[in-house]
Amino acid sequence: MRIELFGIARARAGRDSVEVEAGSLGDAIRALARACPGVVPEIVADGRLTDGYLASLNGERFVKDPNLMLARGDTLLILGAQAGG
Amino acid sequence: MVPGYHGAYLKIDLSTGESERVAIPRDVLARYIGGVGLGTWICANEGGAEHDPFSPHAPLILCLSPLVGTPLTTSAKFAVVARSPLTGYLCDAISSSHFAIAAKRAGYDAYAIVGRARGLSRLVVDDGRVSVREEGGLRGRPASDCGLDGHRTAAIGPAGETRVRYAMISNDGRHAGRGGLGAVMGAKNLKAFSVRGTKHVEVADPKGVVSEARRLSGLSFGPATAKYRELGTIANVLAFNRLNALPARNFRDSSFEGAPEVSAEALHAMNSYGRESCAACTIGCEHIFKAPGGEPVRLEYESVFALGPLLGISDRGAMMEAARRCDLSGIDTISLGGTLACWMEAGRMKFGDAAVVLDMIERIARREGDGDLLAEGSRRVAEVLGRPELAMHVKGLEIPGYDPRALPAMALGFAVGTRGADHNRSSAYELDFSTEPLDVAQVVEHENRAAAMDSLILCKFLRGVFRDFAREGAELLRLVTGLDVDLLEAGAAICDLRKQFNVACGWRREEDTLPERLLTGKLSRERLDGMIADYYRARGWSPDGVPASADLR
């Protein structure tokens, strides 16, 4: 599956997206941390997104349950939760 | 005297040059605090709801707060409050930086300006002493050219002089942008307001304030503000585009193929110039870029949206030059973009025609040719063209860069906003960026919190550093003033007062709505009306949206 990164998450990762193998949301976040160590610990800590960051599933809804199972073609968007603009 | 305050506002009549000190009761300070809250109270007290915005009797209020002049980060702010010539309703706008500190040192908590000067003039308040000086030589000049040695100045550009209904008031490179407050100032023949002073106010607990200032400053360098420090609000462009929440081409579309060209990433890579901060701010959110001619231009998300995707423009250089010309002319970029987008969809210009946009900005400022009609804003333009459905506004205020079709909490905030479609007074998209279903009571609480922040005044970019803003913000207020205030109750009272002001101006229930184009899919009219009904109930208002409490005076 594909993980797309925006804003500070992109800056820390040093890339705008990454392809990972993951069955669940938790797996995907941990895979992101392994593929892009720069996101640790500000974006990902202890295998979870930190408070200031969110995951959107396919751009349709926000998700946070680490046990949520993902489908093969799913895309996760990692975004900052900081409002303001 | 309540610590943190002078305890009075200065009422200045430009027609006569006379001024009077008006005491502010302690219970008013405790209830409305400062900034937008106190500013709204003063505006109502001076009859702001009773007069046409361009009338000499209409008051223009510049209101400080108890935190101004303290070492608390982001506290150098002031509110400008008046009846808007664009909407006919209350407009409260926040601006920042040195002018706020100087205005407080000049000796008052607020300035209420009435009357009309004989010719284009400058108002000067120097340690409480008032003078009105002819400044005909500044006619047509940008606000940035209107400084006075030794003073800090808030001024209008040429658009304010010609009463463009979305003209701004500018100071220190910042703007009280929305709602046409610059036109109110222009209608008074007031080009510039310059202040200087030496009058400090005591705070209740100086050691406590310093300690909190250090704590907040430390937190302001942390991850909660990283977006603003490192990228700026323009970081929103690609994120919202991907979420189909970036309005384009007059809200016909919810994403824009040219977004990468005007994104934060492209701007930082190709056009970066520098970064600045307001006085007394440790965040430093202002990102400056180099326009095509080499001049610096500050860009925020809303300007990029309004002068880029909303108009179908992906030419980054043209977008930056448009922003620069808006700043020089003294024009709100969001309302300009919304007005031109309406004009484009009506077939009077082509989407994406950047050259015509650049030319039109200055024609609007001079009210020349089509610029005269366009200076009236999208609602009036669409009415004249016989195409009211093309104006994307609420109560006459053009909608900012968040597509309500994708963001239901923002949709509600836009619809019920007292100054019109407003991303700052509502909950913004915090509640839409959530795994929880929309809870209207939380929308109300976020509005109350925003009203409290805008009255303390602290920058909303700081809100992520608070674990419990109601408690921590109240503690800051107590350390400065000695007052024990329930901030969320104060926020609710301020929201009630704003609504009462609008009711007095003739607000009708059907004005709490969104344009028909945006009421599709999951955001049907029925759903929006249901949310609005829940909102009124949560606020304790009548089913028609009228507060039971809060006398207007």
Give, for all 553 residues of chain B, the pLDDT tens digit: 999 999 999 999 999 999 999 999 999 999 999 999 999 999 999 999 999 999 999 999 999 999 999 999 999 999 999 999 999 999 999 999 999 999 999 999 999 999 999 999 999 999 999 999 999 999 999 999 999 999 999 999 999 999 999 999 999 999 999 999 999 999 999 999 999 999 999 999 999 999 999 999 999 998 889 999 999 999 999 999 999 999 999 999 999 999 999 999 999 999 999 999 999 999 999 999 999 999 999 999 999 999 999 999 999 999 999 999 999 999 999 999 999 999 999 999 999 999 999 999 999 999 999 999 999 999 999 999 999 999 999 999 999 999 999 999 999 999 999 999 998 888 667 899 988 889 999 999 999 999 999 999 999 999 889 999 999 999 999 999 999 999 999 999 999 999 999 999 999 999 999 999 999 988 999 999 999 999 999 999 999 999 987 567 6
Helix (H) or strand (E) holding B340: helix B333-345
Domains along the sequence of chain B with CATH:
8-196 (3.60.9.10), 221-398 (1.10.569.10), 408-539 (1.10.599.10)
Phi and psi at residue B260, to the nearest 5° = -60, -30
Under 8 Å between Cβ of B362 and B384? no
Query: Out of B227, B265, B423, whose CB is closest to A80?
Result: B227
Note the ipTM here: 0.96
Counting the structural domains of chain A, the total is 1
- Report whether the peptide linkage leading into residue B61 is cis, meaning its omega lies within 30 degrees of zero: no
- In which domain, by residue range, is A62 found? 2-80
Residue A83 pLDDT: 67
Mutation choice for A interface testing from B94, B227, B467 by most A CBs within 10 A:
B227
Which residue from A4, A8, A85 is facing B301, i.e. has the nearest CB? A85
Among B41, B101, B85, B326, residue whose Cα is nearest residue B185: B85
Residue B125 CA, chain-centre distance (Å), reads: 24
CA distance B174 to B350: 31
**Could you give the CA distance from residue A42 to residue A44 in angstroms, rounded to a whole number?**
6
State how far the Cα of B426 lies from the Cα of B442, in Å rounded to an integer.
Answer: 11
Q: Distance between CA atoms of B9 and B546, rounded to whole angstroms?
A: 29
- Residue A85 within a domain: no
CA distances from B207 to B71, B72, B466 (A): 11, 12, 20
- Which of A2, A4, A6 has the highest number of chain B CBs within 10 A, making it the mutation to test binding with B? A6
- Specify the amino acid at residue B391: A
The pLDDT, as a whole number, for residue B549 is: 74
Instruction: Determine contact, residues B10/B63, Cβ cutoff 8 Å.
Output: no
Q: What is the CA radius of gyration of chain A?
A: 11
User: What Å distances lie between residue B553 and B40, B47, B496, CA to CA?
Assistant: 10, 9, 13
The length of chain B, given as a count of residues = 553
Host H or E run for residue B480:
helix B469-481
How are beta strands A2-5 and B393-394 bridged, if at all? Answer: unpaired
Is the Cβ of A41 closer than 8 Å to some Cβ of chain B? no
Q: Are A51 and A81 in contact (CB under 8 A)?
A: yes
Interchain proximity A7–B231, CB inside 8 Å = yes
Q: Is residue A22 part of a domain?
A: yes
Distance CA B105, CA B200 (A): 6
Which pLDDT belongs to residue B553?
A: 62
Measured CB to CB, residues of chain B less than 8 Å from chain A are 223-228, 230-231, 233-236, 238-239, 242-244, 264-265, 300-302, 401, 423, 427-430, 433-435, 460-461, 463-464
B10: number of Cβ within 10 Å: 22
CA-based Rg of chain B, rounded to a whole angstrom? Answer: 22
Question: B67, B75 in Cβ contact below 8 A?
Answer: yes
d(CA B442, CA B431): 8
Q: Are B172 and B147 in contact (CB under 8 A)?
A: no
Q: Count of CB atoms within 10 A of residue B54's CB? A: 17
Residue A47 included in any domain: yes
Asked if B506 and B492 count as a contact pair (C-beta separation under 8 A), the reply is no
Say if residues A23 and A67 touch (Cβ distance below 8 Å): no
CA dist B288 and B230 (Å) reads 12
B243/A77 touch (CB, cutoff 8 Å), yes or no: yes
pLDDT of residue B494: 97
Closest by Cα among B112, B98, B93 to B176: B93
Is residue A64 less than 8 Å (CB to CB) from chain B? yes
Mode of pairing for the β-strands spanning B110-114 and B8-13: parallel
With beta carbons less than 8 A apart as the criterion, state whether B154 and B161 touch.
Answer: no
Residues B389, B382 contacting (CB under 8 angstroms): yes
DSSP letter at B439 equals -
Strands B60-63 and B129-134, by their bridges, are unpaired
A31 touches chain B (CB under 8 A): no
Q: Are B11 and B61 in contact (CB under 8 A)?
A: no
Strands of A1-85 (E only): list them: 2-5, 17-19, 44-45, 48-49, 53-57, 61-63, 75-80
Is B527:B67 a contact under the CB 8 Å cutoff?
no
- Contact: B242, A59; criterion CB under 8 Å: yes
Residues of B in contact with A67 (CB under 8 A): none
B520/B6 Cα distance (integer angstroms): 51
Low-confidence ranges of chain A (pLDDT < 70): 83
CA atoms within 13 A of residue B349's CA, in its CB half-sphere: 25
CB contact under 8 A, A8 and B230: yes
Q: With residue B129 as reference, give the H or E element that holds it.
A: strand B129-134
> What distance in Å separates the CA atoms of residue A45 and residue A60, rounded to the nearest whole number?
25
Contact A81 B423 (CB under 8 A): no
The two three-digit tokens of residue B532, written as one number? 């609005």
Q: Is residue A11 part of a domain?
A: yes
Judging contacts by C-beta atoms under 8 Å, the chain B residues touching residue A56 are 243
Name which of A8, A11, A62 is nearest B433 (Cβ-Cβ).
A62
By the 8 A CB rule, do A55 and A49 touch?
Answer: yes
CATH of the domain at A46: 3.10.20.30
Measured between its terminal Cα atoms, the distance across chain A in Å is 30
- Tell me which chain B residues have a C-beta less than 8 angstroms from the C-beta of A79: 239, 243, 433
Cis preceding linkage at A41, omega within 30 = yes
From A21's Cα to the closest Cα of chain B, the distance in A is 22
Burial of B454 from C-beta contacts in 10 A (0-12 / 13-18 / 19+): buried
Helix, strand, coil abundance in chain A, percent, nearest 5:
25, 30, 45
- Is B137 exposed, middle or buried (CB count within 10 Å of its CB: 0-12, 13-18, 19+)? exposed
**Candidates B225, B435, B460; nearest CB to A62:** B435
